[in-house]
Amino acid sequence: MDIQKQLLVFVNPASGKGHALKEWNKAKPILDKFNVKYQVIMTQYQNHCHEYLLKEDLSNIYGVVLVSGDGLPHEAINALYARPDWEQISQSITIGVLPGGSGNAFAKTLTKISQLECNSESCALLIAKGMTRQMDLILLEMQQKKVVSFLSLAYAFISEVDLGSESLRFLGGARFDIYGTWRALFQKKYQAKYNNQQMMFRYFLAQKIPYISDNYLSAPAAKIDDGYIDVQYLEVGDWSQLVKLSLKQYDGSHVEIDEQGNVKPKGNWKYEKVKEYTFEPITNCPLSIDGERYPPQPVKAKVLNKILKVFCY
């Protein structure tokens, strides 16, 4: 007799000022209304989700739902990608998210594409209806490991804001605004090699999806399935450039996009769509990959086109 397949739901109770469980409770009635079967796991420690998905039998699972910010999806996707049966998993398991953290860029992107509001009810509706879409990932090859990224690699200003504001998590998404304002007023210079060219940066961000958080449209030309990485950077120059352009990233107005989809950056801002790139930090600044801290090290990045299924219209 066939066993009915179900969702596997991971809830991070410590995420988003502790609101992840409340967000899950908002989503449950919608899944129940559609008679969706699910198993819930409350994560107990860092990498709990990763360890489970890496080792357990997932033959009766058709979807993995992450209730958290963007850290838990990073954990889950990398666990699935590292499994010996990844090729099969990538076809049989779909990823869903509920916005239960500080950033929620993944949830914002999937609901925006689906023309829905970014909330747990909308995400639950996407999951319950079972509509799926293939999206890209970025393979990041480093000295001692390979990582896949669904969101971004950041260095310099963005990395400092993302990782430096961790002590302000109790503020929710406002932590990025508060710490970002302080860091923009007291800017630093960061040396690195981008595609083997040594440069001095104020800002470096390579994205796969358009949002870096649920209210920050930092890469308006990015698409989840176009086979490109959207790389933006600002070299050292006029101090005010970073302040002015960062403020415009809330709505994506820091660049212009014509009817053909071509991007025209403003000022000294650089915006490139690439299929691969190399990056080597020189200044001692950590890398932020999908919002997670990694030590500064050389990275070789390339797009893996349409290899992840997500719940999305």
Residue 188's pLDDT is: 82
| Ramachandran area for residue 244 (φ above 0: left; ψ -120 to 50: alpha; else beta) | alpha
Tokens coding 126: 């996407």
Taking 50 as the pLDDT cut, the residues of the chain under it are 1-2
| Catalytic position from the list 70, 162, 214, 230 | 70
Q: Is the dihedral of CA 74, 77, 79, 81 positive or negative?
A: negative
Task: Check residue 172 and give its pLDDT.
Answer: 56
Per-residue model confidence (pLDDT) at position 2: 44
At residue 171, the pLDDT reads 56
Q: What is the CA radius of gyration of the chain?
A: 19
Active site (annotated) includes residue 70: yes
HEC assignment per residue over 263-304: EEECCCCEEEEECEEEEEECCCCCEEECCEEECCCCEEEEEE
| Helices marked H in the chain | 20-33, 48-55, 71-82, 86-92, 105-113, 120-129, 157-164, 174-185, 239-248
Alpha-carbon torsion 244, 245, 248, 253, what sign? positive
Residues linked to residue 287 through DSSP beta bridges, in sequence order? 294
Q: In the structure encoding, which two tokens stand for residue 198, read together? A: 């040594």
- When the pLDDT of each residue in the chain is averaged and rounded to a whole number, the result is 91
**What value, to the nearest 5°, has the Cα angle with vertex 224 and ends 56 and 67?**
45
Q: What pLDDT does residue 1 have?
A: 29
pLDDT of residue 264: 84
Give the separation between CA 88 and CA 73, rounded to whole angstroms: 19
What is the per-residue pLDDT for 169?
Answer: 57
For residue 17, how far is the Cα from the chain centroid?
19
- For residue 62, the model assigns a pLDDT of 98
Q: How confident is the model at residue 5, as a pLDDT?
A: 95
Neighbours of 70 (CB within 10 A): 31
Q: What is the pLDDT of residue 140?
A: 98
**What is residue 245's predicted lDDT score, i.e. its pLDDT?**
78
Give the DSSP letter of residue 59: T
